[in-house]
Chain A
Amino acid sequence: MAISLNLNGQTHQVEAEPGTPLLWVIRDELKLTGTKFGCGVAACGACTVHLDGAPVRSCQTYVEDAEGAEITTIEGLDSKVSKAVQDAWVELDVVQCGYCQSGQIMSAVGLLSENARPTVEEIDDYMDGNACRCATYQRIRAAIQRASEMMEA
């Protein structure tokens, strides 16, 4: 079926079978590969994108359900919060292999957009679904706190 997606501020017409995960339309059809495939079962968060500003797992979102929503991927981040998060990530050299980090950043931006000054417990709670096999968690936590500071400045 023909589906119209509003992604990163642009409208895209795509052909996809109903029930296709949004993840695969983003990666294979639109060729935006910053959004990653890690598990396909909502257990790792590597595929996190924003629907109307809220993080969702794109591997568990049917493409037809995303029609009409504003979809944002890592490539389309452009806000005060996202800038603070990405700057903090670079400042603290959070990444190792990097494969999980788009998803981490999308979740972190979601968290700080809802709650500009999260406690450690709130960070751990919110980020619980984003796995990092390289275990960069200490730096993720620190970078979220750092981004929170930068947002206030």
Chain B
Amino acid sequence: MTLDPSRRGFLASAAAAAAVLYVGVRPNGALAAGAAPAQLNPFVKISADGTVTAIVKHFEKGQGPATGLTTLIAEELGVSMEDIRYEFAPSDAARYANLAFGQMQGTGGSTAMANSFMQYRQAGAAAREMLIKAAAEAWGADAAGLSLEDGIITGAGQSAPIAEFVAAAARMEAPAEPRLKDPSAFRLIGNPQVKRKDSLPKTNGTAKFAMDLHLPGQMVAVILRSPRMGGLASGFDDTGAKAVKGYIRAAVLPNQAGVAVYAENTWAAFQAREAITVDWDVSNAEHRSSDQIREELLAAVNAEPEFNVTGADHAATTEQIAGAAQVVEQTFYFPLLAHAPMEPLTCTIEADADGGVTLHDGCQFPSGPHMALAQIFQLPMDKVRINTMFAGGSFGRRATPTADYQVEAALAFALTDRTRPVKLVWSREDDITGGYYRPAVAHRVRVGLDAEGNIAGWDHRIAAQSILKGTAFESMMVHGGVDHSSVEGVADTPYRIPGQFTGLTDVAKATSVLWWRSVGHTHTAYVMEVMMDEAARAAGRDPVEFRLALLEGGGADQQRLAGVLKLAAEKGGWGSAPEGRSQGIAVHKSFGSYVAELVEISGSAGDGVKIEKVTCAVDCGIAVNPDVVKAQMEGGIGYGLGHAMRNQITLTEGVVDQSNFPDYEPLRIGDIGAIEVHIVPSAEMPTGVGEPGTPPAAPALANAIAADGPRVTELPMALNGVSFA
């Protein structure tokens, strides 16, 4: 998914009847003026009193767009961060599409800043030019002599707040090509002092998440699902539930995926659900255990691959390895993983007065549930509304190609008389057992080294459960049978590896699988970076030097990867670990960003490893909000390390073995001693930060452990020979 630069230029503005200035993109992408605001796609709204509001088209799950996109508007318009507000955009793909996704509105692939950077700056710049022009006309002055800073227009011996010119500016044509600030003049973009816009409400309990919604008259619905994944409900007995105060009723969902249990409040719904028994038809349900799934994947990765991903000459690679001085070989296995965002899944649906419906949701991918709801309720698209609220984390889970939980809520709502809003609530048990996992994956890699310790051939085979096949994203991300998300990070590595072959075999899905923070890179980075260390060790070379040699003489891609590797090595004191400590390093490119991480540990695999420090270097182009970038690296590192240390989802005859945090133990505060993040200064276009911090973390830890202990090739580490202090 890349950004189409030809779409950056589309910008329009129009007059607003009520002296509100909206600047944005017209649905057709063309410039025009005079249209009513309702026909526009406003990114910036200025009301008559001069209050500036950025309309944020990406949902906020903590990754920072409410701050980042608002910064872009504030920078170009000329207002301070304190004087600008933000709102989340309504669901309207024609206006708020993610430019990386075509005509779909949604957040994912770490694209929020990358696809918005020019669009939001242009909207801010256009608003500035219009306000200045209005002031120039009012003052009979030359616009060129006026400036706008901190919400005040100054020049020609005059000075006035923008509020005075909103009405006049709203009647103007938008400039076709508003002039953007030169980066040297940035005051907010790249400024590490810029604060998050959402800190205060998230610190005093006032931030409203979807879980916090209480609509008048609402019912709470929970779903009783088959313990065996994919079982279908054929009937139920709710005699026991009738004793629960607040229980309303239960009904089999139209798709039989479960029984909806309705109650007056959340606790009553949970209690009633416990007391209901269901007849499950499990004839088509998952019946395998995870051991079997593992065996299937390992068998597949040891057989001839189904797909030759890059069209490389496999026979030649085989020959190069056969003739090598030594061969390094490893087989890897990665288990299913749950996302477990802190806020369990929830959303509320209510009927609108005009016959439409509104979905209240921490909505990651509005276009998906929007279409699904229109279909379920047989409504035109404009009768389905989405109110996007704060989301308590996602890590990919809130964007499913099936809009799974929103569809559940819609079906549960459709079964009622629709007079009362229905709030769907998932418990943590629903979340951990509910499928949509990071797929299980196996890799097998054989690396041939010549007598000088240089790579002669690299045979890399992956067996995976495809995330994208059979979804609406198949046409975009699956080519020639190859699901790109299964091989990203291997097939497109910036390393210049001689004789590299990448093979892929698809294995039947166990349950539903889904992207999980950094998608394919969750496993490909691990394998690539562990194998780099193994090869360097076999060659008797320093792991950093070995990697740099594979990047030498390359283009920008190689130079940027080498840049972060060197920076992390330098800042983390590579090669000079204090007594009793071991170091490991890994570097990986994902979502357009380059990240290296150096992990320093104490202790040992037998007595308990303690992660003392992680030093991270990131090159994400222009870091719009450096502190948000740092926070995303810190969080991405924690997410990567915590799961690699101790998490897995396993099945016993189709039933998930884990159920809640006690057996899907989250990373805890004491697990990582310190994290230090260094940002490479850059003038390149901004790239993603939500995911790229995750991939290098686990392999860097694995390499630190292997420096003086076992080589872990199967995750999680805690179940494969490593104890943690």
Q: Enumerate chain A interface residues (CB-CB to B < 8 A).
A: 17, 20-21, 24, 27-29, 31-41, 43-44, 46, 73-75, 77, 86, 89-90, 93-102, 105, 123-125, 127-128, 130-141
Contacts and interface: CB of A to CB of B under 8 A. Distances in A.
A90 B200 contact: yes
Given A73-B205, A141-B669, A94 B245 contact: no
B393 A86 contact: no
Contact of B342 (A32, A93, A94, A99): A99
Contact of A135 (B214, B428, B635): B635
B214 A31 contact: yes
B196 interface: yes
B660 A43 contact: yes
B120 interface: no
Contacts of A97: 60-62, 341-343, 390-394
Contacts of B211: 33, 36-37
B266 A37 contact: yes
B631 A93 contact: yes
A44 B661 contact: yes
B662 interface: yes
B181 interface: no
B63 A131 contact: no
B105 to A, nearest CB: 20
Nearest to B662: A43
Interface residues of B, number: 61
User: Which applies to chain B's interface (DSSP): helix, strand, loop or mixed?
Assistant: loop
Contacts of A98: 62, 198, 201-203, 207, 209, 390, 392
10 contacts: A34-B205, A36-B209, A39-B661, A44-B342, A46-B342, A96-B631, A98-B209, A99-B392, A132-B669, A138-B674
Given A97-B62, A98-B62, A133-B340, A39 B428 contact: yes
Contacts of B634: 135-136, 138-139
Nearest to B638: A135
Contacts of A38: 342-344, 428, 661
B382 interface: no
A134 B267 contact: no
Contact of B202 (A21, A77, A95, A131): A95
A86 B199 CA distance: 10
Nearest to B60: A97
B206 interface: yes
Contact of A133 (B63, B64, B341): B341
Give the 6 A-B residue pairs with the shortest CB-CB distance, closest first.
A34-B205, A135-B638, A99-B392, A96-B62, A98-B202, A97-B62
Contacts of B496: none
Nearest to B627: A93
B500 to A, nearest CB: 33
B92 to A, nearest CB: 24
A89 B199 contact: yes
B629 to A, nearest CB: 12
B202 A101 contact: yes
Nearest to A121: B670
A141 B638 CA distance: 14
Given A27-B266, A96-B631, A133-B340, A39 B660 contact: yes
Of residues A28, A34, A96, which shows the largest number of chain B Cβ atoms within 10 Å of its Cβ?
A96
